[in-house]
């Protein structure tokens, strides 16, 4: 099942649409206004960020991730997933500007961001839930897409309901909250389409151990 946004017209730019996933709370802004054009933000992040290809543990073996990543945030926002522990690099001026816009639109605060660089259609992210203890019981994750459009797939964790697919447009914002991570997995599959590079930023709120539910 594919989700098509109802409108991308300029008057609806700052309006969110709710995705029809049972047991999830996902809002999508297909064409948000940003402090600078999305293509300019893409080029600056591509050139300014110290991208790395790190290995994660999958089925007991360490393998390089099929994309480049970086982790930025406030001091102390250490994040561990799939056997990888990330220590934050400080915010850059551009990441701070994007974070302010995301916070203003979403109404949530974020103290860190995971950046993903998909060099071409062969780079991907496997199905997963962002449900690590540091994110709390109802993680709120704001995902900004820049560069080439790519499909994001949602698959229910227990029910055999059809997968839901949405094409994430450049300049879009997707906010996952509530029970989304408890009930659904999400991922970016490889594509055979001729596809340019894409940068994705997922803003997160890392909780100190005494704040976790
Ligand atoms: O690239 C995307 O849109 C997905 C990123 C994602 O799922 C993640 O960082 O956990």
Å from CA of 68 to ligand 1 middle = 12
Each residue of 51-109: pLDDT tens digit? Answer: 999 999 888 899 999 999 999 999 999 999 888 999 999 999 999 999 999 999 999 99
**Does residue 123 have its Cβ closer than 6 Å to ligand 1?**
no
Cβ–Cβ < 8 Å for 157, 184: yes
More confident residue, 49 or 209: 49
Hey, which of 19, 30, 135, 143 would you mutate to test ligand 1's pocket, going by the most ligand atoms within 8 Å of its Cβ?
A: 143
Cβ of 129 below 6 Å from ligand 1: no
Per cent of the chain over pLDDT 90 is 85
Q: 7-24 as b/e, with b when 16 or more CB fall inside 10 Å?
A: eeeeeeeebbbebebeeb
Residue 9 has pLDDT above 60, yes or no: no
How does pLDDT run across 20-45, given as a tens digit for each residue? Answer: 999 999 999 998 999 999 999 999 99
Distance 209 CA to ligand 1 centre (A): 24
Rounded Cα distance between 176 and 179, Å, is: 9
The pTM is what? Answer: 0.94
**pLDDT attached to residue 197:** 98
CA-closest residue to ligand 1 atom 2: 200
Beta bridge partners of 144: 173, 201
For 125-171, write each residue's pLDDT tens digit: 999 999 999 999 999 999 999 999 999 999 999 999 999 999 999 99
Given strand 125-128, what is the order of strands in its sheet? 2-3, 164-168, 150-156, 184-188, 125-128
| Three-state DSSP state, 173 | strand
Calculate mean pLDDT across residues 173-198. 97
Kindly give the distance from the C-alpha atom of residue 56 to the centroid of ligand 1, in angstroms, as a whole number: 15
Phi, psi dihedral angles at 196 (to 5 degrees)? -80, 180
What confidence category does residue 6 fall into, taking pLDDT thresholds of 50, 70 and 90? Answer: low
pLDDT at 58: 84
Domain 2-211, what architecture? Sandwich (2.60)
pLDDT of 212: 65
For residue 4, the model assigns a pLDDT of 73
pLDDT band at 179 (very low <50, low <70, confident <90, very high): very high
* Residue 193 confidence (pLDDT) above 70: yes
For residue 79, give Cα distances in angstroms to 44, 67, 82, 110: 25, 18, 10, 14
How many residues appear in the chain? 213
Please, which pLDDT band fits residue 111 given cuts at 50, 70 and 90? very high
């Amino acid at each position: 099942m594919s989700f098509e946004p109802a409108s991308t017209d300029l008057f609806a730019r700052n309006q969110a649409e709710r995705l029809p996933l049972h047991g999830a709370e996902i809002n999508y802004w297909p064409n948000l206004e940003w402090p600078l054009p999305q293509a300019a933000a893409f080029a600056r992040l591509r050139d300014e960020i110290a991208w790395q290809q790190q290995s994660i543990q999958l089925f007991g073996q360490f393998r390089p991730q099929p994309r480049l990543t970086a982790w930025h945030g406030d001091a102390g926002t250490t994040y561990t997933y799939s056997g990888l522990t990330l220590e934050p690099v400080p915010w850059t001026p551009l990441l701070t500007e994007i974070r302010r816009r995301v916070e203003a639109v979403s109404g949530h605060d974020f103290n860190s961001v995971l950046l993903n660089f998909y060099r071409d259609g062969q780079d991907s992210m496997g199905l997963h839930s962002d449900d690590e203890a540091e994110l709390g019981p109802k993680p709120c994750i704001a995902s900004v897409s820049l560069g080439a459009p790519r499909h994001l797939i949602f698959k229910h964790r227990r029910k055999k309901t059809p997968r839901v697919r949405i094409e994430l447009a450049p300049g879009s914002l997707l906010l996952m909250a509530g029970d989304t991570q408890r009930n659904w997995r999400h991922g970016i599959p490889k594509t055979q389409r001729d596809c340019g590079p894409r940068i994705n930023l997922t803003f997160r709120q890392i909780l100190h151990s005494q704040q976790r539910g």
